[in-house]
Amino acid sequence: MRRVIRRAAVAGVLAILLTVGVATAAAPTGPRLAIVKASRSGLELLNVNPNGGGSVRLAGGGRRARPYLEFFSTVSWSADGAGVAFTGIVGVSKGDDHEPIRKIFIASADGSGMRVVPGSSGAIGPVLSPDGHTLAFTREIEREPPATVGGKRFEEGFQGSSIWTVDLLTGDRRQLTPWVGRGSYTASSFSPDGSTLLATHEGELLSEPELVALALDGSGSRRIFEDGGSAVYSPDGTRVAFLRSTMRSEENREGSSDLYVVNADGTGLRRLTHTPGRNELYPSWDPSGERLAYVRFSAAETEASAFGVGDALMQINADGTCQTKVLSSPRAAFYAPAWQPGPDRGAGRIQC
């Protein structure tokens, strides 16, 4: 399976307001979701209704817009739906490689009050905690040999990623997963009680990515599935939606991935989609827990899929019924959908 994420209360409201200055301007009401649109004019982070209409730009836009949005990176809402976090590019490093300089930003639900998160330099893939105090993210390192990373010497160079958290009030950072050569950890979802963080683990000794739950009290981790990734908890924490690769065949040489749902304890696996030759990416639960949004793109080498972005924004009921195409355009690609949480924002079941 292709990597899903590139090399996704009062205390919460207080943390967002103090840290990023979220404005109190009115934002659209009712069910909404954030989605990144990629077109010739650039990347835009939009807030749209369940049908893909009524869009409000939250970040990005034309080529002069700052910060630039990071391709492939997920976005994450605060638990109250007041703010949305995303990865922005603020410049390029000096030297021959000109690597992008990335930071996490949070904007309000109407696109105002945008601020950078202290301590987020080098971060991608933000995941906001339920209490609004913490943001988890992934840091990637790629260095030519020999290299020293985390105090360890790698004679053959280093390529990998690790999960970190940052305190939104103080900017203090904490490393959750170790640096492992030719391996990676990618954060995707906090449990509703904030005790665990779902992550995708990839490594040389793994034939497929594995889905793990990291205990934030330091007591360790547990594997939920040995084949899966990009997992997200349902709003009540009882279920997990994730992606799983499907077998390649003579007819389907590129392989593909499909959307699954499983109970949080790893039981009751259910496959929601069956799309040979296509990949499902970026699952996100509607606040009602009754439907999911995700992105679908062809596994064939097309102009869109070459960049890892979607042919279409899709939605499906959590029981696998009423698979529906929401947004699709020959002149644009869509990725990283994220349902906006909060009171009265549940879209409920799709009627078909």
Q: How many domains does the chain have?
A: 1
Flag whether 344 is in a domain.
Answer: no
| Domain interval for residue 164 | 10-21+32-339
pLDDT at 273: 96
- In angstroms, rounded to a whole number, what is the distance separating the alpha carbons of residues 260 and 41? 34
Q: How many C-beta neighbours within 10 Å does residue 76 have?
A: 27
185 contacts 179 by C-beta, under 8 angstroms: no
Provide the b/e sequence for 195-215 (b: ≥16 CB within 10 Å): ebbbbbbbeeeeeebbbbbbe
Q: What angle do CA 298, 302, 303 make, to 5 degrees?
A: 125
- Is residue 298 domain-resident? yes
Q: Is residue 237 part of a domain?
A: yes
What is the C-alpha R_g of the chain? Answer: 19
Q: What is the pTM of this model?
A: 0.85
Reduced to 3 DSSP states, what percent helix, strand and coil does the chain have, rounded to the nearest 5? Answer: 5, 45, 50
HSE on the CB side for 140, CA within 13 Å? 14
**pLDDT score recorded for residue 148:** 84
pLDDT at 20: 34
Structure tokens of 329? 């355009």
Residue 298 has a pLDDT of 73
Phi/psi at 14 (nearest 5 deg)?
A: -60, -45
pLDDT number for residue 219: 84
In a domain, 17, yes or no: yes
181 burial via Cβ count (<10 Å: 0-12, 13-18, 19+): middle
Specify the pLDDT at position 141. 81
pLDDT along the chain (352 residues), means of 10: 33 30 59 93 93 94 83 92 95 76 94 92 94 93 82 79 92 89 88 96 80 89 86 97 75 71 92 90 96 86 54 94 92 92 96 91
Residue 27: inside a domain: no
Predicted confidence at residue 209, as pLDDT, reads 87
- Distance spanning both ends of the chain, measured CA to CA: 30
pLDDT, position 29: 93
All residues at 6 or more sequence positions from 202 whose CB lies less than 8 Å from its CB, including other chains = 3, 183, 184, 186, 209, 210, 229
Domain CATH for 86: 2.120.10.30
pLDDT at site 22: 33
Within a domain: residue 5? no
Assigned domain for 346 exists: no
67 preceded by a cis bond (ω within 30 of 0): yes
- Quote the pLDDT of residue 247: 59
Report the alpha-carbon angle 236-240-245, nearest 5: 165
What 3-state DSSP class applies to 173?
A: strand
The reply to whether 352 falls in a domain is no
